[in-house]
A and B are shown apart, each in its own frame.
Chain A
Amino acid sequence: MMADLALGSLLPLADAGGSFWFPPEASSVAAGSDFTYDFILWLSILFFVAICGVTGYFVFKYRKRPGHTEEITSTHNTRLELAWSIIPLFLLMAIFGISTYWYLIMVTPPTEDVTEIEVTAKQWNWTFSYQGNGLPAGKKFMVPAALHVVKDRNYQLIMTTPDRDVLHSLFIPAFRVKQDCVPGRYNKLWFRPTMSHMESGNEDGFMLYCTEYCGRDHSVMTARVFVWETEAEWRTAIVKGGDITQIKDLVTRGESIYNQNCASCHSLDGTVPPGGGPSWQGLWGKEETMTDGSKVVVDETYVRDSTKEPGKQVVQGYPDVMTPFDWGDQNDAYIEGIIAYMKSLKE
């Protein structure tokens, strides 16, 4: 433990495959961002050392001591003052130029060969939806918490958040990209991965964070980015992660759905997290009183309604805050799983 605290462990490089400052440069724009960073860094170090050096020298040389008195010197010097205003101005414009050049590349997606991936950000999980590109036709694969891409391809993320949800932001440090997800808008973000996660040494994928504070479990809202070498690997991973019917056992399927989508608000032990909903412990078959005073038994219909339109029947004493879920053409398979899992909790 103490060894961890030793200053020496400050030195290991960031992430696997990274430098002192940064995670690995795994996208086509990372190098530009890092170049800009280094440029500013060295200019800043130059100025900082100069300011502190001169200050230190003056402070030492003119320190108050017996026999030393201050002298009256000129109170301004227009040429000197113009020089130290105009030279930095030019340097700042140089930074602005370099930075803007790279920024324009960052925000200008290529016009062709761009694969679109839909991203839905919700409190507190990420869902990435894929279709086409050799995936089984007519099907949309919704993969929770895993962004799958192929190396050296162009991608555009079409990102949104349900109306009743809050702001989120998608951040992939290894790609040096970030974009907010705003309810009611479709924000776009493009990138081209240039290094696979295996190459970089991150076997579990690159980190993907939510970086716009989104409430209680903000720090839990993470995902992984997998950059595959071939399209075949990519397809396999998506089908495995995005086809819930692959999990044949309904209770296991439901448990997996629960952990991904429901666990942060609905406990299994009777407790209610802040701002959360009814615990699923003993919930199945129970008669609940709704906010309008009516009574409803928690059955298949109620569960189905509550995922589709959570605000329709809210149990008394709980806030109306749940966002609707829609798993597209796999909706039935998901709800089947949830119902089976809730039933299993009753036993």
Chain B
Amino acid sequence: MAGGTVEEPSSGDVIHPKVHYLNATKGLKSWLVTLDHKRIAIMYLIAVSVALLLGGFWAVLLRTELLSPGGVGEQANFVLSNDWYNKAFTLHGAIMVFLFIIPGIPASLGNFILPMQLGAKDLALPRINLFSWYLYIMGLIFFLGVLFLGGLDTGWTLYPPLSSGRPVQMSLIFAYTAVFILGFSSILTGLNFIATIHKLRPRGMTMYKMPLFLWALYATSLIQVLATPVIGLTLGLSMIEHVFKVGIFLPQYGGDPVMYQHFFWFYSHPAVYIMVLPAMGVQSELIAVYSRKHVFGYKAIAWSSIAIAAIGFLVWGHHMFVSGQSPTAGIVFSFLTFLVAIPSAIKVFNWVATLYRGSIDFKAPMIYALAFIYLFGIGGLTGLFLASIATNVHLHDTYFVIAHFHMVMVGSVLTAFLGGVHHWWPKLVGRMYNETLARICAVLVFVGFNVTFMPQFVAGTRGMPRRYANYLDEFTIFHQVSTVGAYILGAAVVIQAGYLVHSLFKGKKAPPNPYGGASIEWQSTSPPDFHNFTEEPITTGAYDFENWQYISEDEGYKLKPKVLVTRQSLSEVH
């Protein structure tokens, strides 16, 4: 033990700091002009949560309409007219995709955790970070503008001629503008993350020593930077065509609507991986921490993120098997789509293998992580039916597709988002939430999901088309069960919002490391200091849980003395 005495960890240390990033400066202005990545992350978290509730509101509304069949070929409606039903699913899709799922995990959790997992003080480009939040808010305002201008009924995909081919419509122009602006927000966040990961890794942390969450964010950022400009340009062209009647995608002016679909999915398919990769990153952290095991197959998980990002660029045509695209192109896209299943499967197998001989703690975040394996399992496997063209032709644009992509995009992204928010909540706000309620809600989310989407698979194979305000009586039971599931899911999310907000005021103060995470962010206080760390953090293995021991007095984990020696010897070197 070179370097003299090492203090035994005990509750003697300051574990509840009086001054931290939340109260270092005060007043609204100190938040609105902050360059602190943690505050920006909190502002993002609030904004994306508002978007989640807003998108969820439309989902509940449209599921309510579908309680009653109305009869195909008739105009009988339950709560929404056909027109409002169409607006409801358009707004649900657009808000959820552009305002919640895409920015959700990277901009909120990523923004907060990424620099801290690197032991850094901030992102590489703090001003750009704040700017991207303002862009996001501008996008949000434009989307609210769409609502106030009477809504939009084009579907979130904004396919022409139904969108740009109509007489000039302000709400459509607002929607184009919103997505365009949100795209820049997304690009800037991605750029910032790439720069940070390359430039701000601490001494001793090679790429292969980063937590897998960072690999996932890195892969995500690559896609954001490379793919997002395409959607910006596509919608820009659509707007020009819509306002000035220039033929680009509109057949009446000599344009080609199928070309729009190519452009659109060239972004929007990789966008699916922008959504799901960060979720997989969170998942890798949760599984490791709550089974107290080094993640199995680290390199395979890391490289599968990169492989998904790369192959993800080459599969967009699988959205267009029946669009009139040539069968040869269809077959090539089908083949590439099957390839992307492999890295996804590798990740799942690795997570399961990580559990082996662990000590599995059923805290709320772990319940989400286990739900993730199940839901992503279904989502991924049902993707095979859609990658295969012989079955895709029948299933395309039916409820089977709806169920599939909700299982993947929401079943994994929402569960990972909720799991991640719970996992890092003590770090984010310095308070503990009600664990019992959190566990109940986690189970409710899981049950709600299955009740909502499992019946939709069968409705889909039986031929129930999507985006139908009315349907045949034979589908009634599927829709009614599904609606009940949506209510369960909605209730769980609202209860969560309730107890999380409650914990801010009444929650028990959190120790620095309540759950025993081994990555660097847990070496800071909860909530962290304005500068993130008051002393230089030690670069220990992100999954070397044996470096930490539980101190029951603190109700949290502390680094073992032998690890603390490293810090001391390091400071002697310098």
A10 within 8 A of B: yes
B298 within 8 A of A: yes
B252 within 8 A of A: yes
| Cα of A100 to Cα of B468 in the assembled complex, Å | 30
B377 within 8 A of A: yes
For B385, give the chain A residue with the smallest CB separation: A40
For B543, give the chain A residue with the smallest CB separation: A75
| Cα of A211 to Cα of B477 in the assembled complex, Å | 21
Residues of A within 8 A of B353 (CB): 80
Residues of A within 8 A of B387 (CB): 95-96
Indicate with 1 or 0, residue by residue over A1-44, a CB within 8 angstroms of chain B CB atoms.
00011000110001100101111000000001100110011011
| Cα of A233 to Cα of B467 in the assembled complex, Å | 35
The answer to whether A92 touches B360 (Cβ under 8 A) is no
A210 within 8 A of B: yes
Residues of B within 8 A of A47 (CB): 377, 381
Selected interface stretch from A177-185, A250-258, A278-286: A177-185
Indicate with 1 or 0, residue by residue over A147-174, a CB within 8 angstroms of chain B CB atoms.
0000000000000000111110101011
From A59, A187, A207, A214, B355 is in contact (CB under 8 Å) with A59
A71-B357, A95-B338, A100-B331 known; A76+B297 contact, CB < 8 A: yes
The answer to whether A176 touches B394 (Cβ under 8 A) is yes
For B348, give the chain A residue with the smallest CB separation: A51
A36-B390, A58-B356, A100-B389 known; A185+B298 contact, CB < 8 A: no
CB within 8 Å of A: which B486-523 residues: none
Total A-B contacts with CB atoms under 8 angstroms apart:
288
The answer to whether B352 touches A58 (Cβ under 8 A) is yes
The answer to whether B356 touches A62 (Cβ under 8 A) is yes
Residues of B within 8 A of A177 (CB): 393-394
Indicate with 1 or 0, residue by residue over B304-343, a CB within 8 angstroms of chain A CB atoms.
0000000000000000001110010011001100110110
A23-B463, A207-B472 known; A76+B299 contact, CB < 8 A: yes
Max chain B CB contacts within 10 Å: which of A58, A164, A174?
A58
The answer to whether A209 touches B463 (Cβ under 8 A) is yes
Selected interface stretch from B68-76, B117-125, B233-241: B68-76
Selected interface stretch from B28-36, B160-168, B217-225, B408-416: B160-168
The answer to whether B338 touches A219 (Cβ under 8 A) is no
The answer to whether A213 touches B463 (Cβ under 8 A) is no
From B166, B345, B384, B461, A95 is in contact (CB under 8 Å) with B384
Selected interface stretch from B270-278, B288-296, B426-434, B527-535: B288-296
The answer to whether A88 touches B342 (Cβ under 8 A) is yes
Residues of A within 8 A of B298 (CB): 75-76
Residues of A within 8 A of B50 (CB): none
Indicate with 1 or 0, residue by residue over A205-228, a CB within 8 angstroms of chain B CB atoms.
001011111111111101000000
The answer to whether A218 touches B86 (Cβ under 8 A) is yes
CB within 8 Å of B: which A64-112 residues: 64, 68-73, 75-77, 80-81, 84-85, 88-89, 92-93, 95-96, 98-104, 106-107
The answer to whether B153 touches A215 (Cβ under 8 A) is yes
A293 within 8 A of B: no
Residues of A within 8 A of B472 (CB): 207
A63 within 8 A of B: yes
CB within 8 Å of B: which A257-316 residues: 273-275
| Cα of A77 to Cα of B543 in the assembled complex, Å | 17
| Cα of A20 to Cα of B463 in the assembled complex, Å | 12
From B330, B374, B393, B465, A176 is in contact (CB under 8 Å) with B393
The answer to whether A95 touches B324 (Cβ under 8 A) is no
Residues of B within 8 A of A178 (CB): 322, 393-394, 396-397
Residues of B within 8 A of A136 (CB): none
The answer to whether A10 touches B385 (Cβ under 8 A) is no
A137 within 8 A of B: no
A52-B374, A55-B355, A92-B384 known; A100+B258 contact, CB < 8 A: no
The answer to whether B382 touches A96 (Cβ under 8 A) is no
| Cα of A18 to Cα of B357 in the assembled complex, Å | 47
The answer to whether B357 touches A73 (Cβ under 8 A) is yes
Q: How far apart are B23's CB and chain A's nearest CB, in angstroms? A: 35
The answer to whether A99 touches B251 (Cβ under 8 A) is no
Q: How many residues of A contact B (CB 8 A)?
A: 97
From A43, A171, A182, B463 is in contact (CB under 8 Å) with A171
B466 within 8 A of A: yes
Q: How far apart are B244's CB and chain A's nearest CB, in angstroms? A: 16
Residues of A within 8 A of B545 (CB): 70
For B155, give the chain A residue with the smallest CB separation: A213
Indicate with 1 or 0, residue by residue over A123-148, a CB within 8 angstroms of chain B CB atoms.
00000000000000000000000000
The answer to whether B322 touches A44 (Cβ under 8 A) is no
The answer to whether B391 touches A40 (Cβ under 8 A) is yes
Residues of B within 8 A of A5 (CB): 477, 480-481
For B475, give the chain A residue with the smallest CB separation: A14
Q: How far apart are A272's CB and chain B's nearest CB, in angstroms? A: 12
Residues of A within 8 A of B398 (CB): 171, 211
Residues of A within 8 A of B86 (CB): 213, 215-216, 218
| Cα of A84 to Cα of B297 in the assembled complex, Å | 12
Q: How far apart are B371's CB and chain A's nearest CB, in angstroms? A: 11
Residues of A within 8 A of B296 (CB): 75-76
The answer to whether A59 touches B72 (Cβ under 8 A) is no
CB within 8 Å of A: which B542-560 residues: 543, 545-546
Residues of B within 8 A of A36 (CB): 388, 390-391
Pairs A–B under 8 Å by Cβ, sample size 24 = A4-B477, A23-B462, A23-B463, A37-B461, A40-B388, A55-B373, A59-B370, A64-B361, A68-B359, A70-B293, A70-B359, A76-B297, A85-B342, A100-B334, A106-B393, A174-B463, A177-B393, A178-B396, A178-B397, A179-B322, A182-B258, A209-B463, A211-B397, A273-B83
**Contacts from A to B (Cβ < 8 Å):** 4-5, 9-10, 14-15, 18, 20-23, 32-33, 36-37, 40-41, 43-44, 47-48, 51-52, 54-55, 58-59, 62-64, 68-73, 75-77, 80-81, 84-85, 88-89, 92-93, 95-96, 98-104, 106-107, 163-167, 169, 171, 173-174, 176-180, 182-185, 187, 207, 209-220, 222, 273-275, 319-321
